Structure formats: structure tokens, C-alpha cells
Amino acid sequence: QEQLVECGGGLVQAGGSLRLSCTASGVTFRNYGMGWFRQAPGKEREFVGTINWNGGIRYAADSVKGRFTISRDNVKNTVYLQMNSLKPDDTAVYYCARRSGSTASPQLGDYAYWGQGTQVTVSS
């Protein structure tokens, strides 16, 4: 049974950092692109970052570019989101997701499986 389990969320002051992790099980992790999305209260889920199967291609949303970095470890079956210079606007539930293919994609509809999410709260 496939599972994606996120961890690393929490409460941090503006300007601080957090690293989110998402560990996959029940699936051949190295075969798939992965992504991070977030959803703030009252807003739609939005793209944050994505990475292809081997980590060779990765990109982030304009709103987080230069502050957030996505990476992966195919030995540990884990994808990471390093978040630096956090702002109150980054407050949201963060979700990792598995692509249905091996490439990276910013499109929510390209993702076949989702984790349960982890809360990130940035105080001003």
C-alpha cells in the first residue's frame, strides 16, 4: 500500500528556516517525479516545487524561488523541501505528491498520489 508521509512542519518566526521531508513507501520511488504544493486557508492548492526522477531537473514557483529548494534521496525514498527566509505569506499546509510519470511538473493534475500534509506557520 502506497504511503507518503510528510514531516518537519511547525511554527517559525519570519526569516527563519524549516526543512520538510516526505518519505515514500509501497512504491518504486526512484521511478517518479515528485512535487510540493501548499494550501493556505481559503485559498486553492498551489505549486511550490517539483523534481524529476533523478533530481537532474527541478524548479520552483516564482513566489519561493531563491528561498526554497527541492531535493531528493532515492536511497532513502525521501524528497525534501528546504525553506529559508520564511515569510508570513508562506503559512499553509504543505503537501508532497508523486507524479504519474518520471518527469517534473508544476501541474496539480499530473500528480497521482498525495500525502496528508504538514502545517507550516510563520509568525511576523
Distance CA 10, CA 17 (A): 10
Local confidence band at 93 (pLDDT 50, 70, 90 cut-offs): very high
**pLDDT given at position 47:** 98
**pLDDT given at position 74:** 98
Local confidence band at 122 (pLDDT 50, 70, 90 cut-offs): very high
Average pLDDT rounded to a whole number, residues 12-30: 98
Burial class for 43, CB neighbours closer than 10 Å (0-12, 13-18, 19+): exposed
Average pLDDT rounded to a whole number, residues 31-35: 98
Place of cell 503559512: 91
